[in-house]
């Protein structure tokens, strides 16, 4: 990643287990960036838009987004992110159980950068996350502060 | 009628169907019978009338004959008198002329009155009297003719007021009276006959009029009933259409809800499953170091390794993990099946013209490997009808049925799968027949249910294929049935509309 500021990984995921598994596998892939985990949409948005350490005010970030959240739909969050002048450049990886074609299309239309379906088969899941980790290790993330 | 709900119209108001049909056939029947009666009676009466007028005519004839005889007689007498008084030959000529005509006139009268005994008797008594008189008359005239006018007159005066003339006159007027009486009687009969005829015709006419009128009234009433029934029917029909529309909307809504429900459930079930699978693997990973530890302890300090610890690491943990994993994988497959079915229901169908032969051949090509392995063949018999339907759905139905047929062939028997089709009553009927292991008749319905399978469970599968096939066939507006016996192969029969109705609802 960039040398200047470490990229924060913002994970919005309501399922504790999924979050834990994702984190473990990212670490196994050798990615040790800070992972900020939010269990619902509101707190995730709060951090993204308003927190001092959040990407709007400070530092580059990468967002891992689940679509099935208790308080709001993940696509709404995606729309908010991609509608924001600064935040729209932040890469968003949608990581969810839904593999519905229409939903996938909609996310890409809204500006999602990568869409990954969580495989139930754990080996495949772990593999997908590890590859995501490798991917994270090479991609360039824009500096957040203008 | 007002205020009465049309549906609840009492039946009493209407002519009952049986009464109506009785009347509608009875009235014209009665009319026809009346007509026949009138014709018969009229014919009979006319016959009688003819008979009566013949009799009357006859009477007139007799009467005329009597009158003629009388005139002849009187003229003869007058001629004789004239001659005897005046001696003029003119009177004698009259006498000569008329005198000769009297006997034939009497004969004619006798012939005419043969039917009347009383008149016959009178003629019988007339004849001798007339003969005597005529002899006397001729005698007196002959005497005068020979010049003895006086002698003739004397003879005349002798018999002029004799019994014969009065007797003859008496008889003739009696005969005339008798005929007059008969005439009056016969006239009377004819008049009453005519009156009877008129009475019959009038009565029958009145009866016909009554029949016609009541027929008309009944028809009118029936027509009114019919009209009312039609109006009611229309109202009911409209209600029915409305009800059907509502019910269809309800069903569509319910169906959509089920689809959505299935979709949501399967997604939400998947999420915890990811955890179960994930952490099972984590558990396995975590048990590795423990296993190593136990192994090391065995060598370093065997006394601290209990039997339970070794069993836990070597047997219990791997076994538990194995079961959890197998069950989770199965659950994943089941959820995927539900998801697939739910997706199938949400997909919009697009009807297009399809060659079933080509669909089957494509399926056979994609299964070449399996077919070669099992030594089975797929045959298309005859020329199955083409149809307009959704390509994807039809392909899926046929490939599923053929795959099943190939999958459950009888080991040791060369497999033959036959596909044939025909058009029957406006629908396309297709059969997929195999010579495989067959299906127990008690399972013929069960095999179409989700997650249900039949027979020996020696083939992989979740019991999804046929459930999916049936759901698809239903959606295409068709039906599917199974015909099979154990060990005798199976035939799956599809009945599909030749042209699928375009879909109205349930778009994803």
pLDDT (tens digit per residue) in B43-93 = 888 888 888 888 888 888 888 888 888 888 888 888 888 888 888 888 888
In this prediction, residue B389 has a pLDDT band, given cuts at 50, 70 and 90, of very high
Residue A80 Cα, gap to closest chain B Cα (Å)? 24
Do A37 and A23 touch, CB atoms closer than 8 A?
yes
Q: Which of A25, A17, A19 is nearest to A125 (CA)?
A: A25
| Residue B10 clears pLDDT 50, i.e. is over it | no
Give the H or E element holding residue B435: none
Residue A120 Cα, gap to closest chain B Cα (Å)? 5
Mean pLDDT, residues B459-463 taken together: 81
Do A125 and B279 touch, CB atoms closer than 8 A?
no
State the Cα–Cα distance between residues B245 and B105, nearest whole angstrom. 107
- On chain A, the residues whose CB falls within 8 A of the CB of B275 are 15, 17-18, 21
Mean pLDDT, residues A113-137 taken together: 81
Mean pLDDT, residues B373-384 taken together: 90
Q: Which of B61, B60, B141, B130 is nearest to B102 (CA)?
A: B130
Mean pLDDT (chain B) is: 85
Q: List CB contacts of B500: < 8 A, sequence separation 6 or more.
A: B349, B351, B387, B388, B389, B390, B476, B477
| Residue B430 clears pLDDT 90, i.e. is over it | yes
* Backbone phi and psi for residue B161, each to the nearest 5 degrees, phi listed first: -105, 25
Instruction: Answer yes or no: do B277 and A122 touch at CB < 8 A.
Output: yes
Q: How do B416-424 and B427-434 pair as beta strands?
A: antiparallel
Model pLDDT, residue B161 = 66
Model pLDDT, residue B96 = 85
Model pLDDT, residue B1 = 40
DSSP letter for B499, please.
Answer: B
Residue A143 vs residue B44, higher pLDDT = B44
Structure confidence by residue, pLDDT tens digits, B166-179: 888 888 888 888 88
Give me B169's structure tokens.
Answer: 């006159």
**Nearest C-alpha in B relative to A99:** B267
Beta bridge partners of B380: B419
Mean pLDDT (chain A) is: 83
Give me A140's structure tokens.
Answer: 């360039």
State the Cα–Cα distance between residues A143 and A4, nearest whole angstrom. 9
Q: List CB contacts of B239: < 8 A, sequence separation 6 or more.
A: none
**Nearest C-alpha in B relative to A69:** B268
State the Cα–Cα distance between residues B284 and B288, nearest whole angstrom. 7
State the Cα–Cα distance between residues B341 and B335, nearest whole angstrom. 10
In this prediction, residue B506 has a pLDDT band, given cuts at 50, 70 and 90, of very low
Beta bridge partners of B417: B378, B434
Mean pLDDT, residues B126-136 taken together: 84
| Residue A3 clears pLDDT 80, i.e. is over it | no
Structure confidence by residue, pLDDT tens digits, A52-106: 777 777 778 889 999 888 888 889 999 999 998 888 888 899 988 877 788 899 9
Give me B417's structure tokens.
Answer: 């799968």
Mean pLDDT, residues B285-291 taken together: 89
Name the least confident of A50-64, B116-130, B272-286, B300-314: A50-64
Do A50 and A87 touch, CB atoms closer than 8 A?
no
Residue of A24, A100, A125 with shortest CB distance to B274: A125
Cβ-in-10-Å burial (0-12, 13-18, 19+) of B300 comes to exposed
Instruction: Look at the alpha carbons of B456, B458, B461, B462 in this order and tell me if their dihedral is positive or negative.
Output: positive
- On chain A, the residues whose CB falls within 8 A of the CB of B274 are 15, 17-18, 21, 97, 118-120, 122, 125
Residue with the two structure tokens 């154990």: B486
Q: Which domains does chain A have, with CATH numbers?
A: 8-138 (3.40.50.2300)
Instruction: Answer yes or no: do A17 and B275 touch at CB < 8 A.
Output: yes
| Residue B409 clears pLDDT 50, i.e. is over it | yes
| Residue A37 clears pLDDT 90, i.e. is over it | yes
Model pLDDT, residue B2 = 43
DSSP letter for B404, please.
Answer: H
Residue with the two structure tokens 């004799």: B162
| Residue B270 clears pLDDT 50, i.e. is over it | yes
Residue A52 Cα, gap to closest chain B Cα (Å)? 32
Instruction: Answer yes or no: do B332 and A120 touch at CB < 8 A.
Output: yes
Q: Which of A13, A36, A26, A141 is nearest to A87 (CA)?
A: A141
Give the H or E element holding residue A31: none
- On chain B, the residues whose CB falls within 8 A of the CB of A15 are 271-272, 274-275
Residue B247 vs residue B259, higher pLDDT = B247
DSSP letter for B207, please.
Answer: H
- On chain B, the residues whose CB falls within 8 A of the CB of A122 are 274, 277-278, 280-281
DSSP 3-state of B203:
helix
State the Cα–Cα distance between residues B475 and B478, nearest whole angstrom. 7
| Residue B3 clears pLDDT 90, i.e. is over it | no
Residue B459 vs residue B5, higher pLDDT = B459
Sheet holding B479-484, edge to edge: B377-380, B416-424, B427-434, B490-497, B479-484
Q: Which of A22, A11, A127 is nearest to A69 (CA)?
A: A11
State the Cα–Cα distance between residues B167 and B122, nearest whole angstrom. 11
State the Cα–Cα distance between residues A72 and A38, nearest whole angstrom. 13
Q: Which range among A40-44, B77-81, B260-264 has the greatest average pLDDT? A: A40-44
What is the separation of C-alpha B242 from the centre of its chain, rounded to a whole number of angstroms?
30
Instruction: Look at the alpha carbons of B94, B100, B106, B107 in this order and tell me if their dihedral is positive or negative.
Output: negative
On whether ipTM exceeds 0.85, the answer is no
Residue of A21, A98, A119 with shortest CB distance to B267: A98
DSSP 3-state of B484:
strand
- On chain A, the residues whose CB falls within 8 A of the CB of B270 are 97, 118, 120
Give me B246's structure tokens.
Answer: 């509502």
| Residue B505 clears pLDDT 50, i.e. is over it | no
Mean pLDDT, residues B337-348 taken together: 78
Model pLDDT, residue B4 = 42
Q: List CB contacts of B438: < 8 A, sequence separation 6 or more.
A: B484, B485, B486, B487, B488, B489, B490
The pTM assigned to this predicted structure is 0.50
- On chain B, the residues whose CB falls within 8 A of the CB of A24 are 282
DSSP 3-state of B424:
strand
Model pLDDT, residue B433 = 93
| Residue B142 clears pLDDT 50, i.e. is over it | yes
Model pLDDT, residue B18 = 77
Instruction: Answer yes or no: do A17 and B282 touch at CB < 8 A.
Output: no
State the Cα–Cα distance between residues A27 and A21, nearest whole angstrom. 10
Helices then strands, counting H and E runs in chain B, come out as 11, 7
A 115-134 near B (Cβ less than 8 A):
118-123, 125-126
State the Cα–Cα distance between residues B418 and B491, nearest whole angstrom. 9
Rounded to 10 deg, the angle between the B317-346 and B163-300 helix axes is 150
Residue B324 Cα, gap to closest chain A Cα (Å)? 13
Structure confidence by residue, pLDDT tens digits, B202-240: 888 888 888 889 888 888 988 998 999 999 999 999 999
């Amino acid at each position: 990643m960039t040398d200047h500021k470490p990229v924060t990984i913002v994970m919005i995921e309501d399922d504790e287990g999924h979050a834990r598994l994702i984190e473990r596998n990212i670490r196994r892939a050798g990615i040790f960036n800070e992972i900020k985990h939010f269990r619902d949409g509101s707190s995730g948005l709060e951090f993204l838009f308003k927190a001092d350490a959040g990407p709007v005010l400070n530092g580059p970030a990468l967002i891992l987004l689940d679509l099935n959240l208790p308080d709001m739909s993940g696509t709404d969050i995606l729309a908010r992110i991609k509608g924001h002048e600064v935040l729209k450049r932040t890469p968003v990886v949608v990581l969810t159980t839904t593999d519905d074609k229409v939903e996938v299309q909609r996310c890409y239309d809204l500006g999602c950068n990568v869409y990954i379906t969580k495989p139930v088969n754990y080996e495949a899941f772990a593999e997908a996350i590890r590859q995501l980790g490798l991917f994270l290790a090479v991609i360039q993330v824009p500096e957040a502060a203008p | 009628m007002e205020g009465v709900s049309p549906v609840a119209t009492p039946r009493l108001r209407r002519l009952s169907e049986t009464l109506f049909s009785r009347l509608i056939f009875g009235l014209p029947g009665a009319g026809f019978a009346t007509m026949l009666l009138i014709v018969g009676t009229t014919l009979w009466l006319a016959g009688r009338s003819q008979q009566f007028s013949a009799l009357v005519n006859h009477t007139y004839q007799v009467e005329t004959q009597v009158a003629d005889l009388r005139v002849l007689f009187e003229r003869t007498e007058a001629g004789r008198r004239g001659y005897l008084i005046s001696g003029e030959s003119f009177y004698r000529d009259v006498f000569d002329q008329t005198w000769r005509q009297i006997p034939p006139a009497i004969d004619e009268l006798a012939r005419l009155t043969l039917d009347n005994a009383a008149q016959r008797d009178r003629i019988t008594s007339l004849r001798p009297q007339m003969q005597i008189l005529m002899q006397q008359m001729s005698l007196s005239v002959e005497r005068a003719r020979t010049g003895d006018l006086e002698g003739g007159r004397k003879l005349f005066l002798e018999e002029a007021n004799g019994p014969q003339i009065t007797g003859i006159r008496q008889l003739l007027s009696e005969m005339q009276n008798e005929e007059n009486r008969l005439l009056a009687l016969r006239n009377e009969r004819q008049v009453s006959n005519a009156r009877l005829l008129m009475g019959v015709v009038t009565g029958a006419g009145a009866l016909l009029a009554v029949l016609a009128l009541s027929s008309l009234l009944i028809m009118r009433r029936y027509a009114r009933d019919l009209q009312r029934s039609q109006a009611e029917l229309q109202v009911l029909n409209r209600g029915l259409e409305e009800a059907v529309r509502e019910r269809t909307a309800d069903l569509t809504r319910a169906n959509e809800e089920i689809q959505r429900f299935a979709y949501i459930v399967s997604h939400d079930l998947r999420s915890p499953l990811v955890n179960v699978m994930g952490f099972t693997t984590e558990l396995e990973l975590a048990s590795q170091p423990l296993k190593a530890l136990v192994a090391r302890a065995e060598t370093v300090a065997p006394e601290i390794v209990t039997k339970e610890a070794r069993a836990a690491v070597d047997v219990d943990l791997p076994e538990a993990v194995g079961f959890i994993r197998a069950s989770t994988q199965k659950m994943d497959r089941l959820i995927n099946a539900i998801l697939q079915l739910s997706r199938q229901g949400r997909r919009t169908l697009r009807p297009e013209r399809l060659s079933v032969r080509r669909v089957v051949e494509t399926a056979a090509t994609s299964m070449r490997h399996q077919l070669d392995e099992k030594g089975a063949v797929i045959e298309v018999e005859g020329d199955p009808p083409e149809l307009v339907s959704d390509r994807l759905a039809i392909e899926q139905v046929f490939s599923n049925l053929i795959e099943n047929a190939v999958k459950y062939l009888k080991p040791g028997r060369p497999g033959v799968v036959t596909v044939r089709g025909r058009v029957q009553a406006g629908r396309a009927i297709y059969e997929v027949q195999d010579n495989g292991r067959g299906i127990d008749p008690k399972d013929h319905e069960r095999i179409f249910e989700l997650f249900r399978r039949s027979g020996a469970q020696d083939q992989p599968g979740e019991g999804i294929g046929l459930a999916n096939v049936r759901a698809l066939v239903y959606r295409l507006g068709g039906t599917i049935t199974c015909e099979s016996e154990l060990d005798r192969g199976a035939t799956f029969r599809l009945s599909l509309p030749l042209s699928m109705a375009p879909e109205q609802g349930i778009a994803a």
